[in-house]
Amino acid sequence: MTPQANDRHTLASVTKSLDVVEALWALDGAGVTELANRLEMSKSTVHNHLTTLERKGYVVAEAGTYRLGLRFLHFGEYVRRAQPLYEASESAVEELAAETGEKVFCMVEQNGLATAIRTGEGERSVETDIRVGTQSYMHCSAAGKAILAYLPDERVKAILDRWGLKRFTEGTITDRNELYEDLRAGREQGFFLNREEYQRGVTAIGAPVLGEEGVHGAIVVIGPAMRLRGDWSERELPNRLLAAANMAEISMSFS
């Protein structure tokens, strides 16, 4: 589920409707009872939200099972293509996935979260819970770190104040000073690591896509920790990743 920050200015009814939408996506469709149990809402409340969403065309009902409607396609495609890096990263992401055999993502920052806008599948791609549109905390993401490292200090502080440093594994960085040091080291070497900080057994390496106006986003390679280690991950993989990021930067300059 999408990370959530506490905010007293939110509307409870809107939040609940969006929780229903996210649950339908996560469950690949569900009935009223299943949604009520998952969201800890009454069945009548869930049914009211589903009925409203259905009448607006965002949800469809099939034999008692509710699913997200095709109306989301229109907005999703518009939002994705509105990101300049989506088009500019196409060749870089696909070629890097083919070269490494691993899963590759292009991610951007929005509302203080790292959001995947494009993915490339290598022949050895590992299954993860990250897909196009998935948002994740930036402090435990290689792409997130690559972006944080090049944002203004005030922006970094605002992001950390809002979302905090949630622990996912024993490797997650939960201290700000330690994170700042990790970002500094990443700037020096040109790439950023996620050493099983979000999910055990999964390692990632990310590089920023930079431009005159700042950081556009990042490209990241994700794979099993046992595979992304040694000389391959310390020398050849970073070089290929940096070349891909540079390719995206050049494409951005002409977009």
The closest of 177, 184, 135, 146 to 160, measured between CA atoms, is: 177
Residue 181's CB is within 10 A of a number of other CB atoms, namely: 12
3-state class percentages of the chain: helix first, strand second, coil last, to nearest 5: 45, 20, 30
- Residue-wise pLDDT for 38-94, tens only, equals 999 999 999 999 999 999 889 999 888 999 888 887 787 777 777 889 889 999 999
The closest of 200, 202, 173 to 186, measured between CA atoms, is: 173
Task: Quickly state the pLDDT bin for 170 (edges 50, 70, 90).
Answer: very high
pLDDT, greater one: 124 or 16: 16
Domains and CATH numbers, the chain: 12-69 (1.10.10.10), 77-254 (3.30.450.40)
Where do we find the tokens 């791609």? 125
pLDDT at position 49 is 94
Q: Collapsing DSSP states into helix, strand and coil, what is residue 47?
A: helix
Using the predicted structure, report yes or no on whether residue 1 has a pLDDT greater than 50: no
Most confident of 97-101, 131-135, 231-235: 97-101
28 φ, ψ to 5°?
A: 60, 45
- Residue-wise pLDDT for 218-254, tens only, equals 999 998 888 887 777 677 899 999 999 999 999 988 7
pLDDT at position 89 is 92
